Amino acid sequence: MHDTPPPALGRHLRHTLLSARDLTATVGPFVLLALGLLVLAYLVLDPTPPKRVVLATGTERSAYTAFGQRYAELLKRQGITVVLRTTEGAAENLALLRDRTSGVDVAFVQGGSDTGNPARPAGAEAPPLESLGSLFYEPVWLFYREQAAQRLLKADRLERLAQLPGWRLNIGAPGSGVPTLMLQMLQANALAPEALTLTREPETPAVVALLEGSIDALVFASAPESLMVQMLLRTPGIRLFDLPQAEAYARRFPFMSAVVLPRGIVDLAQDQPPQDLHLVAPTAMLLSRRDTHPALQQLLVQAAQQVHGGAGWFQHKGEFPNTRNTDHPLADEAERFYRNGPPWLQRYLPFWFANLFDRMWVVLVSIIAVLIPLSRVVPPLYQFRIRSRVFRWYGQLRSIEAAIGQRPADDLAQELDAVEARVGEVTVPLSYADELYALREHIALVRRRLGTPGAGRIDRPGADGSNR
Residue 408 is predicted with a pLDDT of: 87
Neighbours of 5 (CB within 10 A): 11
In the predicted structure, residue 456 carries a pLDDT above the cut 50: no
Q: Output 314 or 393, whichever has higher pLDDT.
A: 314
- Determine, yes or no, domain membership for 301: no
In the predicted structure, residue 16 carries a pLDDT above the cut 50: yes
The pTM of this model reads 0.67
Residue 5 is predicted with a pLDDT of: 53
Q: Output 453 or 315, whichever has higher pLDDT.
A: 315
Q: Output 261 or 366, whichever has higher pLDDT.
A: 261
57-67 mean pLDDT: 89
- Determine, yes or no, domain membership for 433: yes
Residue 359 is predicted with a pLDDT of: 67
Q: Output 345 or 466, whichever has higher pLDDT.
A: 345
- Determine, yes or no, domain membership for 403: yes
Write down how long the chain is.
468
204-209 mean pLDDT: 93
In the predicted structure, residue 101 carries a pLDDT above the cut 80: yes
In the predicted structure, residue 367 carries a pLDDT above the cut 90: no
In DSSP terms, 240 is beta-bridged to 143
CB-based contact 386:57 (threshold 8 Å)? no
Omega before 329 cis (within 30°)?
A: no
Phi, psi of 425 (to 5 degrees): -95, -5
| 453: confidence class by pLDDT, cuts 50, 70, 90 | low
CB-based contact 436:465 (threshold 8 Å)? yes
Domain housing 433:
7-32+377-450
- Determine, yes or no, domain membership for 13: yes
In the predicted structure, residue 448 carries a pLDDT above the cut 80: yes
| CA angle, 33 then 37 then 43, to 5° | 145
| 434: confidence class by pLDDT, cuts 50, 70, 90 | confident
172-192 mean pLDDT: 90
- What are 368-377's pLDDT values in tens digits? 776 677 667 7
In the predicted structure, residue 454 carries a pLDDT above the cut 70: no
Residues 6+ positions from 208 with CB-CB distance below 8 Å: none
Tell how far CA 282 is from the center of its chain.
Answer: 28
- Determine, yes or no, domain membership for 28: yes
Pairing of strands 129-137, 277-289: antiparallel
Phi, psi of 218 (to 5 degrees): -140, 155
Residue 22 is predicted with a pLDDT of: 61
In the predicted structure, residue 117 carries a pLDDT above the cut 50: no
- Determine, yes or no, domain membership for 405: yes
In DSSP terms, 169 is beta-bridged to 198, 217
The whole-angstrom separation of Cα 248 and Cα 254 is 11
In DSSP terms, 277 is beta-bridged to 261
- What are 71-90's pLDDT values in tens digits? 999 999 988 999 999 998 89
In the predicted structure, residue 184 carries a pLDDT above the cut 80: yes
In the predicted structure, residue 11 carries a pLDDT above the cut 60: no
CB-based contact 69:84 (threshold 8 Å)? yes
In the predicted structure, residue 67 carries a pLDDT above the cut 70: yes
Residue 186 is predicted with a pLDDT of: 93
The whole-angstrom separation of Cα 198 and Cα 310 is 37
The whole-angstrom separation of Cα 343 and Cα 349 is 10
Residue 45 is predicted with a pLDDT of: 59
Query: Of the candidates 179, 169, 170, 171, which has an alpha carbon nearest to the alpha carbon of residue 90?
Result: 179
Among 12-16, 155-159, 332-336, the least confident range: 12-16
- What are 277-299's pLDDT values in tens digits? 999 999 999 999 998 988 899 99
Q: How many domains does the chain have?
A: 1
- Determine, yes or no, domain membership for 64: no
In the predicted structure, residue 8 carries a pLDDT above the cut 60: no
The whole-angstrom separation of Cα 230 and Cα 242 is 17
Average pLDDT over the chain, rounded to an integer: 83
Pairing of strands 238-240, 140-145: antiparallel
In DSSP terms, 109 is beta-bridged to 285
Residue 123 is predicted with a pLDDT of: 45
25-46 mean pLDDT: 66
Among 19-28, 267-276, 285-294, 339-348, the least confident range: 19-28
| 112: confidence class by pLDDT, cuts 50, 70, 90 | confident
Tell how far CA 385 is from the center of its chain.
Answer: 46
- Determine, yes or no, domain membership for 347: no
% of the chain residues with pLDDT over 70: 81
CB-based contact 286:307 (threshold 8 Å)? no
